[in-house]
Chains A and B, each alone.
Chain A
Amino acid sequence: MFSPARAWREFPQRYRLEAAKCSGCSKILYPPRLVCPECGGRKFTQEALPRDGKVVTYTVIRVPPAGFTEQTPLPLALVELTNGVRLMVQIGDVEDPESLEIGMPVRLEFRRISWDGEAGVIFYGHKAVRAGS
């Protein structure tokens, strides 16, 4: 469980999928970083990620960390977006984990990621859901 302060600092990347594009080598970094791992550049422009992609690989977590009890089993995937950027995200709308497959087309949708019980703050972000509607 992250703190409200940390989540708030990350709203641009969590809510709007804002990535950093290196001005030196054009690599797109998500999450954004201060130094480009490719060329060492420190100048970036802001760019929103595309919301379509496919599952590269996935795993299903059945003993989840605190804050995810209602979402078990919890599928996590490495997703490659249409611009080549890869990110780790939860997969949403999965009633049967057996239905998941590598190469599955997905779209990133705005969802609750976790919540601090009944009284605490709700953390929002994106999950990958099967594309096609």
Chain B
Amino acid sequence: MTIGIVGYGAFIPRRRIKLEEIAKVWGADAPAYKRGLQLYEKSVPGADEDTVTMSVEATRNALARSGGVDPADIGALYIGSESHPYAVKPSGTIVAEAIGAVPALHVADLEFACKAGTESLFIAQSLVKAGEVRYAVGIGADTSQGAPGDALEYSAAAGASAFIFGGDEDLIVAEIVDSFSWTTDTPDFWRREYMHYPRHGSRFTGEPAYFRHSMSSARGMMAKAGMEPRDFAYAIFHQPNGKFPMRVGKKLGFTHEQLETGWLSPWLGNTYSGASPIGLTAVLDIASPGDLILLTSFGSGAGSDSFVIRVTGRISEVQDLAPKTRAQLDENKIYLEYGAYAKLRGKIRMAE
């Protein structure tokens, strides 16, 4: 049975902060950070935006591109995030209620650092494949935080993407050809309960965590599918900063041209669970029928999911039916100073 994406959508908040504005406050060397991390600015959620609100808008965009999927036919909805608004109370129920998918559906929130989004995609597509549900929604969304002054503060950003999976061949815009995951226990990044900000294993985060898992997953995926880098029109990797996804892609043998469409982090920042899936939406926005796409996520802790995706002839009919990802990234921006940013991100202690 062929299954695939029948609708996709992204949501990126309008607010941005430039890297210089953060560096200025902490006395850091902005040009060195820009060169080192390849980051120029990042998205910032408003006080009224969170993982739930962004997920609702991303899913509405996915429904707009779905060729008329009735939300009542959605049998499962999963949100992968490390910034669910409640510690106890699901995000998914709010999203399901808002899109009109309640009450006959399965819902759960998933967590796996930055990989929870692609894991929700994997579960959603698997349930459709197994015939358990007619349509399933997988969402990756985050409004992550870095501690003030920490290197993560320059990258932690906000965004969401949503994918509706189904098996109706005339509705599929991108077929899921195959998938693979590569997971070990690696303590490179964590946040304990009740802590506001995460901690990381510093230099431990690069080679044994991000690069080892991403490369093993991508290589395992290509070996399983009998493919190599030149077979793909596009490849998308997890984007903790601007530098890592380009470097990992090139190490694997992909070219700049294959990587640049899904490479959003220099202007978006790291949207954690949203990151590589939002990159996929940017690629689907301009992809052509027959294009093959490699999607490889990474989540600290650590694991990496890969998918081989083949774009179908229906893609061109749906690309213009919702706001495109690159347009959301490049247009209608509101630039913040650090003070307003600190207020919005709850970094200022308020009266009880």
How far does the alpha carbon of A70 sit from the alpha carbon of B341 in the complex, in Å? 12
Interface residues of A in 16-52 (CB under 8 A from B): 16
Q: Smallest distance from the beta carbon of B348 to chain A beta carbons, Å?
A: 9
Known A-B contacts A124-B94, A124-B98; A112 and B327 likewise in contact (beta carbons under 8 Å):
no
Beta-carbon contact of B98 and A112 below 8 Å: no
Q: Which residues of B contact A132 (CB under 8 A)?
A: 331-332
Q: Once bound together, how far apart are the Cα atoms of A4 and B332, in whole Å?
A: 34
| Number of A residues with CB within 8 Å of any CB on chain B | 21
Q: Is the CB of B188 closer than 8 A to any CB of chain A?
A: no
Q: Give the residue of B53, B100, B328 whose beta carbon is less than 8 angstroms from that of A16.
A: B100
In this complex, what residue of B is CB-closest to A110? B56
The answer, yes or no, to whether B223 is at the interface (CB within 8 Å) is no
The answer for the CA separation of A110 and B95 in the assembled complex, in Å, is 10
A130 beta carbon closer than 8 Å to chain B: yes
Whether the pair B97, A113 counts as a contact (CB closer than 8 A) is no
User: Which residues, 36 to 78 on A, are CB-close (under 8 Å) to B?
Assistant: 69-71
- Which residues of chain A are within 8 angstroms of B53 by Cβ–Cβ distance? 109-112, 124
Cross-chain contact of A95 among B85, B94, B340, B350 (Cβ < 8 A) = B340
Q: By the criterion CB–CB under 8 Å, are B323 and A110 in contact? A: no
Stretch at the interface among B41-49, B179-187, B241-249, B271-279: B41-49
Q: CB of B286 within 8 A of chain A?
A: no
A110 touches B98 (CB 8 A): yes
- Interface bits B32-56 vs A (CB < 8 Å: 1, else 0): 0000000000000011111011001
B334 beta carbon closer than 8 Å to chain A? yes
Do residues B14 and A93 form an inter-chain contact, with CB atoms below 8 A?
Answer: yes
- Chain A residues near B57 (CB-CB < 8 A): 109-110
Contact status B331-A113, CB under 8 Å: no
Flag B320-352 by CB within 8 Å of A: 1 or 0 each.
000100011001101010001001100000100
> CB distance A133 to B336 under 8 Å?
no
Q: List CB contacts (< 8 Å) of A74-109 with chain B.
A: 92-93, 95, 109
| Interface membership of chain B positions 289-331, coded 1 if the CB is closer than 8 angstroms to chain A and 0 otherwise | 0000000000000000000000000000000000100011001
Residue contact A92 to B48, C-beta cutoff 8 Å = yes
| Structural contact, A112 and B332, CB atoms closer than 8 A | no
Q: Are B323 and A133 in contact (CB under 8 A)?
A: yes
Q: 1/0 per position for B94-124, CB-CB distance to A under 8 A?
A: 1001111000000000000000000000000
CB distance from B336 to the nearest CB of A (A): 7
Contacts of B47 in A (CB 8 A): 70-71, 112
Contacts A69-B350, A133-B327; A112 near B336 (Cβ below 8 A): no
B12 and chain A: residue at smallest CB distance: A133
Q: Which residues of the other chain, B, contact A15 by a CB distance below 8 angstroms?
A: 94, 97-98
The distance in angstroms between the C-alpha atoms of A95 and B94, with both chains bound, is 27
Partner of B48, one of A11, A95, A112: A112
Measured in the bound complex, the distance between the Cα atoms of B296 and A133 in whole Å is 28
Given contacts A109-B57, A133-B327, contact A11 B14 (CB under 8 A): no
Q: In the complex the two chains form, is B50's CB within 8 Å of A95's CB?
A: no
Instruction: List chain B residues, Cβ under 8 A from A113.
Output: 48
B14 touches which of A71, A110, A112, A133 (Cβ 8 Å): A133
User: How far, in Å, is B162 (CB) from chain A's closest CB?
Assistant: 12
Q: Which residues of A contact B327 (CB under 8 A)?
A: 133
Report the separation of the CA atoms of residues A16 and B48 in the bound assembly, to the nearest whole angstrom.
Answer: 17
CB neighbours (8 Å) of A95 from chain B are 15, 334, 336, 340
> A48 — nearest CB in chain B belongs to which residue?
B100
Interchain CB contact under 8 A, B332 and A130: yes
- Picked from A69, A111, A133, the residue with its CB within 8 Å of the CB of B49 is A111
Q: A110-B53, A112-B47 are in contact. Are A70 and B14 (CB under 8 A)?
A: no
7 contacts between A and B (CB under 8 A): A71-B48, A95-B336, A111-B49, A112-B48, A124-B53, A129-B14, A133-B328
13 more A-B residue pairs beyond the given contacts A93-B46, A112-B50, A129-B14, with a C-beta to C-beta distance below 8 A: A15-B98, A16-B99, A16-B100, A71-B48, A92-B48, A93-B15, A95-B334, A111-B53, A112-B53, A122-B86, A132-B331, A132-B332, A133-B327
